[in-house]
Amino acid sequence: MINPIRFGGIASGMDTETMVKQMMQAERIPMDRIFQQKQWAEWQRDAYRDVNKQLLEFRNLASDMRLQGTFLANKVSSTNDSIATAKGSGAAANFAYDLKVLELAENGYANSKESIGNEFDAKDKSALASLAGLTPGTEEVPGQTTSFKINGKEFTVGHDKSLNDLVKEINGAKIGVSAFYDAATQKVSFASTVTGEGKLEIDDTDGFLADVLKIDTADIKSDANPNGSFYAGKDAKFVLNGLETTRSSNTFTISGVEFSLKAEGSTRVSSTADTDKVFDTIKNFVDKYNELLTKSNEQLVEKRYRNYKPLTAEQKADMSDKEIELWDEKAKSGLLRGDSMLSGIMSDMRSLMSNDVKGLDEGAISALFEIGIQSNSYEDRGFLHIDEKKLRKAIEEKPQEVIDLFTKQSKNKNEQGIGTRLYTAVNDSLGSLVEKAGRPDSTVDQSFISKEIKRYDEQLAAFERRLFEVENRYWAQFTAMENALSSMNSQGNSLTSMLSQL
């Protein structure tokens, strides 16, 4: 709403604008309270959404802690890394393999045996056709072409294709072959992009490759002909625990173990449980839980300064940036102090972390304190401490019991593993937070606080319209007063003039 330009005090001499402004400041006090309530609601909504983010991160971590694969970490070693290395996935049990590498897998290749020609121009679009003796075309008869196949893909050469064009076409054909022309030796090379027997197949039916590019596919590399110009590739050959077998690549997976062959020779590849990694996984889980608990406990007891209300635009105009920052710091303090929802979520998590896991085998580990994870006193407010020596001993001596403690599945909540029960509980808590304050990245927000903020917006809009009407009424009253004073002054002047004439 735009206020019209007004002039006051012409007849009365009063500062009408200042008087109206001061009266409107009093009228705006209830509106400022609504604004402050709205600002507080927005801050509180954002605080809830920050909790949502923290819980979401912890839920994802708890999701991993309910899976056995998280705890099935192995350390893999080779007695001779120069022969072969290996790494095991979570699915691979402890293993030991005697490996003898007989032959490594190799790429196939085909090279020019000699130079294509002195001062050959790889950019000349007619050079290949000229060397091949292809007859140029006329308006009536098209020029001659020749062709060959690589891995089943046909390539045609005529009077409009340079060697550079041909190399580019082969490289872009996605047939598992790369090509290049070496200008220094004036030779061409084709090579398979992957290892393995038969990965490079060439069909030179027209003789173009042999006659022009000097690639002789009959000159096959072998033990008797080690300098042969054509080689179709070779599979890796090895013996694993007495079984001779082959693979097309030097890197392959058998029973969850990924082998990488490096050279011919013998080595022993074995694995043991990686207790360090399992320890780090559990420690990281506990650390993240403690971070979440500490932050939430701080928010629940954070002091609230009720005399520091959110600042209005008019108040900020009279303050420096530093003053505003310090004020807002106190105004935002205690947003979730004593919050029943946050307190309930943390209380549930503390109970789930400390309660025994029911339904396990008699005498099996059933609680965190049995593996060295517990609160030391009531003052810790659920904060967990780790006896690292005790935890490592449990992982090394009773690995399956430790796994069951975190991952056990059951419809009965009391029989669920700690990772399983926490994942479910945090997931439910996230749903409650979304109902209360919406998601951090929400575009359509129907949460309780957002609806409350919308009601404040509606009240502010209605109040703004009312203030506009009140201000207009004040100005109308002052204008009427000015008109009356002006009329009275005019009458007085007339009387004075009449009396002076008498």
Q: How many Cβ atoms sit within 10 Å of the Cβ of residue 161? A: 19
Give the list of residues 6+ apart from residue 429 with CB closer than 8 angstroms, or none.
55, 345, 348
Q: Are 376 and 441 part of one and the same domain?
A: yes
Residue 490, domain member (yes or no): no
Residue 470, domain member (yes or no): no
Where residue 162 sits, what CATH number does that domain have? 3.30.70
Residue 297, domain member (yes or no): yes
Q: Are 118 and 214 part of one and the same domain?
A: yes
The residue assigned the tokens 């954002």 is 46
Q: Are 261 and 161 part of one and the same domain?
A: no
Q: Are 84 and 187 part of one and the same domain?
A: no
**How far, in Å, CA of 46 to CA of 335, rounded?**
10
Residue 483, domain member (yes or no): no
pLDDT at 274: 83
Going by their DSSP bridges, the two strands 146-150 and 236-240 should be labelled as: unpaired
Q: Are 178 and 117 part of one and the same domain?
A: yes
Q: Of 273, 302, 331, which residue sits at a domain end?
A: 273
Burial (CB < 10 A; 0-12, 13-18, 19+), residue 405, is buried
Q: Are 363 and 426 part of one and the same domain?
A: yes
User: Is 295 strand, coil or helix?
Assistant: helix
Range of the domain at 48: 16-69+277-453
Q: Are the CB atoms for 487 and 12 separated by under 8 Å?
A: no
Residue 31, domain member (yes or no): yes
Strand partners, 253: 258
For 473, the token pair is: 């009424």
Measured in degrees and rounded to the nearest 5, phi and psi for residue 340 equal -70, -35
- Residue 126's identity, in one-letter code, is S
Residue 145, domain member (yes or no): yes
Q: Are 213 and 64 part of one and the same domain?
A: no
**How far, in Å, CA of 228 to CA of 111, rounded?**
9
Q: Are 262 and 376 part of one and the same domain?
A: no
User: Is 275 strand, coil or helix?
Assistant: helix
Q: Are 153 and 183 part of one and the same domain?
A: yes
Give the list of residues 6+ apart from residue 461 with CB closer than 8 angstroms, or none.
none
Looking at the structure of the chain, the number of domains it has is 3
Residue 443, domain member (yes or no): yes
pLDDT at 174: 95
Q: How many Cβ atoms sit within 10 Å of the Cβ of residue 139? A: 5
For 127, the token pair is: 């050079």
Q: Are 254 and 189 part of one and the same domain?
A: no
Q: Of 413, 438, 453, which residue sits at a domain end?
A: 453
Q: How far is CA 202 from the centre of its chain?
A: 45
Q: Are 227 and 256 part of one and the same domain?
A: no
Nearest to 278 by CA among 65, 96, 89, 94: 65
Q: Are the CB atoms for 371 and 402 separated by under 8 Å?
A: yes
Strand partners, 244: 239
pLDDT at 465: 79
Q: Are 81 and 113 part of one and the same domain?
A: no
Structural element, H or E, at residue 392 = helix 388-397
Residue 495, domain member (yes or no): no
pLDDT at 453: 85
Block means of pLDDT (10 residues each) for the chain, 502 residues, are: 52 62 71 86 91 93 90 87 85 80 96 90 92 85 91 94 95 96 95 95 94 93 90 96 96 91 96 88 94 93 92 88 93 92 92 91 92 86 92 91 92 91 92 87 78 85 76 69 68 70 64
